[in-house]
Amino acid sequence: MVTTSIPTTPFSDQRPGTSGLRKKVTVFQQPRYVENFIQAIFDNVEGAQGSTLVIGGDGRYFNDVVVQTAIRMAAAHGFGRVLVGQRGLLSTPAASCVIRKHKAIGGLVLSASHNPGGPDGDFGIKFNMSHGGPAPESFTEAVFKRATAITEYRIVDAPDIDLSRIGPTKVGEMNVEVIDPVADYAELMEQLVDFGKIADLFRSGFRMRFDALSAITGPYAKAILENRLGAPAGTVVNGEPKPDFGGHHPDPNPVHAHDLMDLMLGPDAPDFGAASDGDGDRNMIVARGLFVTPSDSLAILASHAHLAPGYAKGLAGVARSMPTSRAADRVAKKLGINFFETPTGWKFFANLLDAGLITLCGEESAGTGSNHIREKDGLWAVLLWLNILAVTKKPADQIVREHWAAFGRDYYTRHDYEELETAPANELMETLRKKLPALPGQRFGGLTVQSCDDFAYTDPVDGSITPKQGIRILFEEDARAVFRLSGTGTSGATLRVYLERFEPDTNRHDLPTADVLAPVVQAANEIAEIAARTGRNEPSVIT
């Protein structure tokens, strides 16, 4: 089988972000675009000769084409073995699991996470390292540098392999194993949570709805919840991964998972509701009659994790991304364990996990995880919740309310202003930075600014410094507003405004979130001049 070197020229837009390279499908469909980027990755993988590489993705449009290209290019670069999910499918957490279990040198994860799919949607490629987590900035910058100077890519001339059949085959001298995408992941889950107790919970008549949003978690949820744990058939809905996610927006939040919300807030709500996103690394938790914010979910999991076998010895520590509410801080303080506030991006958690400084971690954007892999993990979070419900024999909404009674409630919401023009969005942030020194003591929306800063993070493991990770405004009334420009979209800029207010009084734990946060919203809008600078009087999405 012949290895061919194909002449090429660079594309100027192949700088990976915190989660790899994400662009519109039509961008990736340009001739040589995929090949250039994968070549730039492989040129930076040390020790590729004879090593094991994992390849898989979330099944979105164009996934099948890129998987075959990646396999042929891997064969041309001397990898000894490729493990690829059946039909080219692997959830992001499962990819991390497979990398770690089989001691792979890394993996190509093909996904744009929670971004829309289909021919007009988004696609993404990222490289996960041997620990199973996303590549650090030093690696992604080296990939970008290589991509800007690339002159050729290498690929073997070989037909597509049959990805529908599990088993071994060869491409050139390289062994290819098509694997069951669920098996290794399910085995790991059984080590972490008590399958027996959860099965007993379902046998008792417990009812659940899991909405996979026609994305990758469907096969995993069906195999584990219905087949292994005995949840009734139909517990998992929208369980078949589709290239366009069946028209769903695969972001598990109350806006996009509205069918689940309607059910859980309705008269015949099951006992527990959950959803996951495009690539399976995010989760949404809904108790009967009550949406559980990701920030609260992280805190509740941290305080109850010891009820599951995998965490029975306690936690080393907890970490949250800076925009995530401070609910987990209070749990860590009570438990007397490590606590860290990091920038947004799972690679920061990975350093802490690798160093043994934390066990659980999470982001307000519905990503929660632990030291079992180096990615966030949507279905794992759902299973840990089920373990807690099975052991405590309490309904989910009672678990939440008891947590608020013990620790206080952090009222929390996020306002997203999507697809803004990039220049005005950047100007808004720069103007806000210049205002910071003069803000303390000023009043906005009936609140008084206590302190403010532009968050910078010094990694306690490697000493690296990451500046400009979001602007924090803390008010004397124990409220907070955070401003960030997001890097997960593929067009324009998204301004995210995170708003929270702490309420210790149990008599005030059932107020409408919008009412409690109205002064914080007003203050944030006045300080940042959002309407004047963006032309938007309302956010695109409120979660």
What is the per-residue burial (b if ≥16 Cβ within 10 Å, else e) of 329-346?
Answer: bbbbeebebbbbbbbbbb
The angle subtended at Cα 251 by Cα 128 and Cα 292, nearest 5°, is: 105
Structure tokens at 534: 């963006």
Q: 162: Cβ–Cβ under 8 A, 6 or more apart, which residues?
A: 169, 178
Residue listed under structure tokens 């493991």: 461
3-state secondary structure of 260: helix
Measured in whole angstroms, how far is the alpha carbon of residue 351 from the centre of its chain?
A: 16
Q: How far apart are CA 27 and CA 303, in angstroms?
A: 45
Could you give the CA distance from residue 349 to residue 358 in angstroms, rounded to a whole number? 8
User: What is the strand order of the sheet 317-321 is part of?
Assistant: 338-342, 317-321, 360-363, 367-370
Q: What is d(CA 490, CA 94) in angstroms, rounded to the nearest whole number? A: 25
For 416-454, give one letter per residue: b (16+ CB within 10 A) or e: bbbebeeeebeebbeebeebbeeeeeeebbebebbebee
Under a CB-based contact definition with an 8 Å cutoff, are residues 313 and 337 in contact? no
Active site residue 214: no
> What is the distance between the alpha carbons of residues 322 and 198, in angstroms, rounded to a whole number?
33
In the set 113, 214, 295, 325, the catalytic residue is: 113
Distance CA 522, CA 497 (A): 12
Helix residue ranges, H only, 117-175: 137-147
Tokens found for residue 526: 């006045």
Burial 213-230 (b: 16+ CB within 10 A, else e): bbbbbbbbbbbbbbebbe
Strand-pairing partners, residue 168, are 177
Tell me if 10 sits within 8 A of 33, measured CB to CB. Answer: no
Residues 6+ apart with CB under 8 A from 312: 306
What kind and span of H or E run contains 496?
A: strand 493-503
- Length in residues, the chain: 543
Cβ atoms of 438 and 330 closer than 8 Å? no
How far, in Å, are 187, 190, 191, 286, 489 from residue 184 at the CA level?
Answer: 5, 10, 11, 28, 31
Instruction: Give kind and range of the element (H or E) at residue 9.
Output: none
Measuring CA to CA, which residue among 386, 85, 374 is closest to residue 220?
85
d(CA 29, CA 329): 45
The residue to which tokens 């800076």 are assigned = 322
Report, as residue numbers or ranges, the catalytic residues: 113
